[in-house]
Amino acid sequence: MEFGYGALFERKELNYNDRKLEYFKFLDIVVGVEYTNSMNRNCFHVITGDYTHTMPHIIDSNYKEGIHVVQPLNFERAVEENNNHVDFQEIRNLLKKMFEKGYYKRVEDGIRTLTDKYIIDAIKEQNKSSDFNEQLFEKKTDISTMYNSIRETIVSQDEQIMKILTSLFKNQTVINSNLDNDIISKLKENIIIYGSTGTGKTEILNRIAKIYNVPIVIEAATSLSETGYQGRKVSDMLKNLCVAANNNIELAEKGILVIDEFDKLAEKDQTQSHVSREGVQRELLKILDGTTIYFDDKKFDTSKLTVVGLGAFTGIIKDNNYKNVTTDDFIKYGIMREIIARFSKTIPMNPLSKSDLEKILVTSNFSPLKTYQKLFELLKIDFNYTNDFVSWIAEEAAKNNNGARSLKTVFDNYISSAMFRIYAGEYKSIKLVKPQLENDKAYILEKKINRK
């Protein structure tokens, strides 16, 4: 093993005219330790900056596939280009300016600037077709701070995070203005966020609730029932919003009501429907219509309230793409026409691929790798893992079709027996590895040395 530094890239894929294209996006200049893993592949353990503990492959003839790769750099040459000043930060800034200018491709011995006009046009077309523009968030604004914070946890949903935040900020601008109520009602957006289980719908709103200076409550649709039936009433959600606003009714009226598992309110057919589901939708309609709701001697004006519905809407996917879902598809699913008409913004989540799950494992602040790392630090246990382990865990999790949620389930299952031994006090380090045989463990434990 030896120390080195290099350019860190992220491998990207896109489908364009029925072709699967690959390119690399520059991330940062990093310092780390070069080593060879059990599969005889050259790797790089990043030890500085935002990508600390990322363990990319070194891009060479042995490189197969991985989310992150490192192109080693010549330090002496970089010093010369920096007028012989040995200042890593200056050198880093100089090199970043060089690498940030374009896109990159894989060649036999490393990474080179991408010159293929077809692929460049495909990348530009993809960016053009999306209303997501990362440059909009370069300024240090509240929205950019929230955006960057959420991206530390939620992976592969950048455009979705941007759209959600934009709608919420727009609503707060409108409802706190002196505009007429009729204009406010036209500009304000209620939102439905839908997509596969485990793609980050609820977690995005959980993160927003923690860092946004607006009252927010997240309620479960499955607990609601129509007035006259046993269960929580729709008005109970507004009560909780008042509590979140420290019983300031005026502040609560401008808050955000998030209804999780919104799809469970739908009546797919008579055999599956619950007697009160349509009734709950009709009572919810009162909130969406901007009327006044009375409870506990309070008057709650819902005209300035933002309502966000979250749901998997299993089976609604169309042409293998959530983005092709229409209003009529929601109606056929069982959402009342009057309800869906009040949601002017629908945001489909990206399904997560195996590569996305790998990226979540190594970059998300709340991935099992990152959370267990903190646990092992508390236990004073040395912790390490291989790239092959990351790829294998992601593959196992992908089989469950539960998105990022499967990662913790699979991870816990394979590491649980090791945790017992660690708590028994016998071991000082653990390394997570891909089992080579069916009965092999997914870890290697190193015993403590007993000194007499």
In sequence order, what DSSP letters do the residues of 324-371 get, joined into one string? G--HHHHHHHT--HHHHTT--EEEEPPPP-HHHHHHHHHH-TTSHHHH
Q: Please report, to the nearest 10 degrees, the dihedral formed by the alpha carbons of residues 143, 13, 368, 42 taken in order.
A: -120
- Dump pLDDT digits (tens) for 291-332: 899 988 889 999 999 999 999 998 887 666 777 888 999 999
Residue with tokens 């990093």: 30
Nearest C-alpha neighbor of 214 from the set 190, 178, 191, 246: 246
How large is the angle between the packed helices 142-151 and 158-175, nearest 10 degrees?
150
Q: What is the fold, at CATH topology level, of the domain defined by 137-348?
A: Rossmann fold (3.40.50)
Q: Please, where are the H alpha helices in 245-351? A: 249-252, 277-288, 327-333, 337-340
Residue type, 87: D
CATH top class, domain 354-447: mainly alpha
Q: What is the pLDDT of residue 284?
A: 92
First-residue to last-residue Cα distance in the chain: 32
- Dump pLDDT digits (tens) for 197-248: 899 999 999 999 888 889 999 999 888 875 545 567 888 999 999 988 888 9
Coil, strand or helix at 218: strand
List all residues 6 or more positions away from 155 whose beta carbon is below 8 Å from its beta carbon: 200, 356, 359, 360, 363, 364, 404
The residues spanned by each domain of the chain are 2-129, 137-348, 354-447
Contact 279, 289 (CB under 8 A): no
Contacts made by residues 19-22, CB under 8 angstroms, sequence distance 24+:
21/119, 21/122, 22/105, 22/106
pTM here?
Answer: 0.69
Residue 357 has pLDDT above 80, yes or no: yes
Contact 394, 358 (CB under 8 A): yes
Residue type, 412: D
Higher per-residue pLDDT: 232 or 371: 371
Q: How many residues does the chain have?
A: 452
Q: What is the pLDDT of residue 189?
A: 94
Q: What is the pLDDT of residue 25?
A: 86
Contacts made by residues 427-432, CB under 8 angstroms, sequence distance 24+:
427/381, 428/381, 428/382, 429/381, 429/382, 429/383, 429/384, 430/376, 430/381, 430/382, 430/383, 430/384, 431/383, 431/384, 431/385, 431/386, 432/384, 432/385, 432/386, 432/389
Alpha-carbon span 349 to 194, nearest angstrom:
6
With the C-alpha atoms ordered 209, 202, 68, 379, is the resulting torsion angle positive or negative?
positive
214 CB-contact burial (10 Å; exposed 0-12 / middle 13-18 / buried 19+):
middle
Average pLDDT value over all residues in the chain:
83
